[in-house]
Structure formats: C-alpha cells, structure tokens
Amino acid sequence: MLGIVFVLSLAVHFFLGFMLALPFWVVSLFILQFFRDPARQIPADPQAVLSPADGRIVAVEKTRDPYLEREALKISVFMNVFDVHANRSPVDGTVKRRWYHAGSFLNAALDKASLENERNALWLQTAGGQDITCVQIAGLVARRILCYVGEGAGLARGQRYGFIRFGSRVDVYLPPDAEPQAALGDKVYATESILARLKAHG
C-alpha cells in the first residue's frame, strides 16, 4: 500500500507540481507512520504481563472471560490511528486455541465493542499453567485484523503476533488474582509497559 501511494505521489508531483501532489504526500506520510514498528525493550520480571499494544487503558475490571468461561481481570488498550498497531505477545506461552468472530465496527473505545465487533482471540498458556486470553478487536475505521499464529504456536514475550489496521482495541483477560499495574487512562506501550503481574503458584 505504501509503495503504491508513494509512486502515485511522485508521479503527480512530477507531472502536475508540488501543490497538487501535497495531499498524496500527506497520505503517504500517514501510512508510513501508521505501519511503523519500532524495537522495544522487554522487562525482566517473569511474572509481568506486558501490554500487547500501544494505546490508552480504557478498562481495568473484574468480569467474565467469554472465551474460557471463567472469572477474570480484564484490561483493555484502545489504539487510535496515530498509535503503533503491531500486536505483541504479553507473556511467554503456547497458543492453546484461537477464535475468530465476524462482527460490527463500532468505536473500539466502547465497552460493547468487546462482544459486538469483529475480533480474533488467542488463548495463551504459560509454562506455569496460567491462562491469558488476548483479543484483537477491530474499530470504527479498522477493517482488517491480521493474526500470524495458530494453535500450538509458541510465543515469547514481546514477539509480534498480529496487526490491526487503523484504530482498534486489545482486551487481555487474566486470572482474577493477577495484580493490575496499569490504571484507567494510562498511556501504555507494547512490550515496554506492564499491565499486571501474575501470582506465582505452586
């Protein structure tokens, strides 16, 4: 997509001049910043659940995980169109199951988007047996969810596993005894920000 828009911008600039090409250059810059995917530092804490996305915290609440049908701590990250939209694994774990649901394209900041919008969910299980559900949710502008892994895949913390185009949300469902480290309204960054800490069991 970026290549096509860049070539079109260059052609309009060359044949019609800078002023007529300016809107095309603006679109090129927007797409370039949207698809950026910078390197990130991974926190050393083995019990940390890392943010799977850049954005702002819009939910920290006890609720029911609709995928694993259990009580859970839910933390949601809303990504606007200016955030990095690559999604990264919040924990070291194995993909036990993957679900895809077609749906609406409501504003992803709304709570009902979690159950009504197009979404892709991964059930991740850590080596210690802790279960985490990570849900990619399309938004008002987003029209495509990409997920690069399937059942049986192993993921390392911070590993890229998907992408959502143009404004979206990621919900993370954790064991109910997980300790939240992020608060409503916090700005978080994929991999570098800690959403919660898992209780050590056993």
Q: Please name the residues in contact with 128: beta carbons below 8 A apart, sequence gap of 6 or more.
A: 198, 200, 201, 202
Structure tokens at 78: 């809303």
Confirm if 5 and 27 have CB atoms less than 8 A apart.
Answer: yes
Pair of tokens at residue 95: 């993909």
Cα separations in angstroms, 156 against 6, 52, 129, 137, 160: 35, 12, 15, 21, 9
Which tokens belong to 26? 């603006």
* Euclidean distance between CA atoms 34 and 118, whole angstroms: 20
Q: Which residues of 70-97 are buried (b: 16+ CB within 10 A; e: fewer)?
A: eebbbbbbbbbbebbbbbbbbbbbebee
Residues assigned a catalytic role: 168
Helix (H) or strand (E) holding 23, with range, is helix 18-34
